[in-house]
């Protein structure tokens, strides 16, 4: 039976690979589920923009730039 030597560098590399794999699965599944939900119409389409209620006058913008 051969015993392998795991130094801290190899342990850190294994941990990094596991964390990266979990992050990739989470991010991929999030985008994939969004596509599936939008295909079936399960996502609400908000036509109202968050910034629609903010009114900025041109004079306000010009006075700050001067």
pLDDT digits (tens, 9 = 90+) for 18-66: 999 999 998 888 888 888 888 888 776 655 556 666 676 777 666 655 5
Listed in sequence order, the residues at least 6 apart from 3 whose beta carbon sits closer than 8 Å to its beta carbon are none
CA atoms lying within 13 Å on the CB side of residue 23:
6
Q: Where are the domains of the chain?
A: 7-44
Any alpha helices (H) in 1-66, and if so which ranges?
8-40, 58-65
Q: What is the pTM of this model?
A: 0.48
| Per-residue pLDDT, 36 | 85
Give the single-character DSSP code of 4.
P
Contact between residue 43 and residue 37 where contact means Cβ atoms under 8 Å apart: yes
């Amino acid at each position: 039976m051969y015993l392998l030597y795991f130094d801290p560098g190899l342990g850190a590399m294994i941990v990094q690979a596991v964390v990266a794999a979990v992050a990739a699965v989470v991010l991929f599944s999030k985008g994939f589920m969004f596509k599936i939900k939008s295909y079936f119409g399960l996502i609400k389409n908000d036509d109202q923009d968050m910034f629609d209620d903010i009114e900025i006058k041109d004079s306000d913008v010009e006075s700050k730039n001067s």
